[in-house]
Amino acid sequence: MTKAELRRLMLARRRALPPAELAARSTRMAARLFAGFDVGAWRAVHLFLPLQRRQEPDTWLIIRRLWTEQPGTRVVVPVVQASGTLTHRLLTPDTPLVESAWGIPEPVDAPLISPADIDAVLLPLLAFDEQGHRVGYGKGFYDRFLAECPRALRIGLSLEPPVPRIADVWPGDVPLHACVTPEKVWRFRPAPEAV
């Protein structure tokens, strides 16, 4: 299937997902992440804040567990810029959030974090394939960001299992090292040496 076909299909599946099922899948996904990776070794982990209207995985489960169990790990979240790029801000339990023009919760006046300081990136996606290629919303924010932190571990968070193959992968697409679903952790290529 093409990226456009997968976007339509997966967005429709998400819209049809009952809230209780979304919550259950998010809980299982968070548990698999902590069981499948040495999260305590990460000095800084970048992850997205969920868009409820898009039925995204509830990453607050991961964030709160990091704050509780890994207080030395910095939690970093993206802020979308008008230029089509992302900046990266520290998120603490006391960080105030405001909703952006895109409906994304974003930190207010939080310290900037350099992409070079990030050990792992937990990526939002709509679909992924058995080779570790991913389909997002199609804006390219994460491909540009990932080019700035090539030593970071790239882990997708997916509510659905992989498709066999994404038909229109192109050279600028940055593949995953792994992807966590509610059922299992999929691994695709060796982790970077820095992590």
Tell me the residue ranges of DSSP E strands in the chain.
44-47, 74-80, 86-91, 97-99, 105-107, 120-124, 127-128, 134-135, 153-157, 178-180, 185-187
Helix, strand, coil shares of the chain as percentages rounded to 5?
A: 30, 25, 50
Total of domains in the chain:
1
Query: Would residue 149 count as lying in a domain?
Result: yes
List the one residue out of 155, 64, 79, 148 whose CA is nearest residue 111.
79
The pLDDT tens digits of the residues spanning 112-159 come to 999 999 999 999 999 999 999 999 887 778 888 898 998 999 999 999
pLDDT at 143: 83
| 100 falls within a domain | yes
Distance separating alpha carbons of residues 28 and 183, to the nearest angstrom? 7
What is the arithmetic mean of pLDDT over 161-165?
96
Q: What is the mean pLDDT of residues 35-46?
A: 96
| pLDDT at site 171 | 81
Is residue 142 situated within a structural domain? yes
Is residue 109 one of the residues assigned to a domain?
yes
Percent of the chain past pLDDT 90, that is, above it, reads 76
Please report whether residue 12 resides in a domain: yes
- Find the mean pLDDT for residues 96-100: 91
User: What CATH number is given to the structural domain containing 26?
Assistant: 3.40.50.10420
Q: Does residue 194 lie within any of the structural domains?
A: no
Where residue 193 falls among pLDDT bands split at 50, 70, 90? low
Give the pLDDT score at 194: 44
pLDDT tens across 46-65, in order? Answer: 999 998 888 999 999 999 99
pTM over 0.85: yes
Residue 195 lies inside a defined structural domain of this protein:
no
Provide the domain limits for residue 48: 3-187
Phi, psi of 185 (to 5 degrees): -105, 120
Q: In what order do the strands lie in the sheet with 74-80?
A: 86-91, 74-80, 44-47, 120-124, 153-157, 178-180, 185-187
